Amino acid sequence: MATSAPAPGTRIVDREEIRSKLLSLVASYLEQPVTDIQSDVKLVEYGLDSIFALTLCGDVEDEYGIEVKSTLAWDHPTVDAITDHLYDTLTAEA
């Protein structure tokens, strides 16, 4: 039910928090200020390769306690797209 309160211990999922976490992760891989990373720009534009993609998977898994497919960043090519995917996954779990 949409109106029910989250169960005790359940993480409250916030789309903007996910987005900002992802932006800071991407910025840290690129060693660039987070203000230089835009959430609607394709990650390949920032130099996404197979290693960058798996690094992101590991960090996302550790942050949210879920398992994600190794194709995450290819299936969802921008920070916005990954945000939506993670939001859906996390709310479906909650």
Tokens standing for residue 65: 């306690």
Does residue 55 belong to the site contacting other proteins (CB under 8 A)? yes
Q: Which is nearer to other proteins, 23 or 72 (CB)?
A: 72
51 is a site residue for other proteins (CB under 8 A):
yes
Cβ contact 52:29 at 8 Å = yes
Please give the residues from 28 up to 47 whose contact with other proteins meets the rule CB under 8 A.
42, 44-45, 47
**Interaction between residue 24 and other proteins (CB under 8 A):** no
* Structural tokens at position 54: 């798996």
Helix (H, G, I), strand (E, B) or coil at 78: strand
DSSP state of 42: B
Q: Is 49 a residue that touches other proteins (CB under 8 A)? A: yes
Residues 27/36, Cβ–Cβ less than 8 Å: yes
Q: Applying CB under 8 A, which residues contact other proteins?
A: 42, 44-45, 47-55, 57-58, 61-62, 65, 67, 70, 74
